[in-house]
Amino acid sequence: LKAIRDLSYPIYIEQDNVKTFQEVFSNHVNQSRAFVVTDDNVWTLHRQVFMEMTSNLLIETIVVKPGEQSKSFEVFESLIQTLINKQIKRDDVIIAFGGGVIGDLAGFVAASLFRGISLIHIPTTVLAQVDSSIGSKVGINVSSGKNLVGAFKDPVFVYTFMPFLNTLTTREFNNGMAEVIKAGAIYDGSIIDDLQQKSFDMSILVKAIMVKVNVVKKDKYEHELRMILNFGHTLGHAIEKAHNYDVIKHGEAISLGMKYALLLGEKYGITDASTTKTLLSLFDKYNLLNHTLNDINSYIEFMKVDKKQRQDGLKFVFIESIGKAVIRRLKEEDLYVN
Ligand SMILES: NC(=O)c1ccc[n+]([C@@H]2O[C@H](COP(=O)([O-])OP(=O)(O)OC[C@H]3O[C@@H](n4cnc5c(N)ncnc54)[C@H](O)[C@@H]3O)[C@@H](O)[C@H]2O)c1
């Protein structure tokens, strides 16, 4: 069991022994019952392991439908109602057991119910393990946009169990790998070397987690540094908005966004061609660039370029060299390629 203690809450990473959870839990929580929020897929696939993991606890389970649609006010409210019906108390604990959707949704419930009750993340996707379970952001979507309602909620701890990843579809696995490649591109170039030389393993997982940990440690509330985590996201979000969220996955959209940011970087003399080549070959390795897009320029209207950004310029993340991101201001007209 590996423990990362750089944030105000520890992140435990377990390679194969699910039994370590019980000790971790009892070291942090003074309770013998827990309310688990999970989705249908995760519960079907991993119920047994979860029960083994928590065999010393009294578990109440709430299973929601898988998918982004569950990050809604309706599901949020029904979850709160169900928890109250199940007699949850202020000093109880909620375990978010699933991907980023469950982490965000159950995390927001934990942040809001009784003005905050304890939260534990057990992330089960690559994306959730390296990204969404770290950094304390939780929230839901509203009709006008994603993640517009939310909070900062520190969990008591995060418990990452690598074997959960074994049941991911190739597409879901690759989707999370986009964030791993991003972590390497913006902060730790050795991740890129590793990915070129070997398949994904615990040491790469830990390195990718450390990138997010280091960035949010220095800048939890997104003043400047945390923005580098948005590499590829300016266009990526625009692509997600223009297409349906179900058609193109987040990791695929941001990979296309990273490709665009690399090419734009070349245009402005920030990124050199060999950096672009190395990173593009990794996106290809994980089948992340398979979507046919409309003319890239047509997405620019979907980028969140508001009136203020039109005047001051939009902060845009470029890669100077592998492992080093830089932020530059661009005017709207500078976003067009060619
Ligand atoms: N809070 C943050 O800082 C942050 C950061 C990045 C992304 N996010 C959010 O995360 C969400 C995306 O997360 P995601 O990609 O994990 O999506 P997800 O939670 O929808 O999971 C993807 C799919 O994989 C299934 N699944 C989960 N674990 C599995 C397993 N072990 N085996 C087989 N199938 C499994 C799920 O049921 C789902 O169908 C988005 O809502 C995004 O906004 C939040």
CB of residue 124 inside a 6 A radius of ligand 1: yes
> Which of 104, 141, 216, 245 has most ligand 1 atoms within 8 Å of its beta carbon, as the pocket-test mutant?
104
Mean of per-residue pLDDT scores for the chain: 93
CB of residue 100 inside a 6 A radius of ligand 1: yes
Separation of CA 291 and ligand 1 centre (Å):
20
CB of residue 79 inside a 6 A radius of ligand 1: no
pTM beyond 0.75? yes
The structure tokens listed for 261 are 């940011």
- In this predicted structure, the answer to whether residue 306 has a pLDDT above a threshold of 70 is no
State the closest ligand 1 atom to the C-alpha of 71, by its place in the atom list counted from 1.
41
- In this predicted structure, the answer to whether residue 301 has a pLDDT above a threshold of 80 is no
DSSP E strand stretches across the chain: 2-4, 11-14, 33-39, 58-64, 93-98, 118-123, 137-142, 145-152, 157-161, 314-321, 324-330
Q: Residue 308 has what pLDDT?
A: 62
d(Cα 88, Cα 80) in Å, to the nearest integer? 9
The structure tokens listed for 248 are 């193109």
Separation of CA 69 and ligand 1 centre (Å):
12
Separation of CA 146 and ligand 1 centre (Å):
14
pLDDT digits (tens, 9 = 90+) for 14-71: 999 999 999 999 999 999 999 999 999 999 999 999 999 999 999 999 999 999 999 9
Helices marked H in 125-267 — which ranges?
126-127, 170-186, 189-197, 202-218, 233-242, 250-267
Higher pLDDT, 8 or 245: 8
CB of residue 222 inside a 6 A radius of ligand 1: no
pLDDT over 90 for what percent of the chain? 81
CB of residue 132 inside a 6 A radius of ligand 1: yes
- In this predicted structure, the answer to whether residue 310 has a pLDDT above a threshold of 70 is no
pLDDT over 70 for what percent of the chain? 96
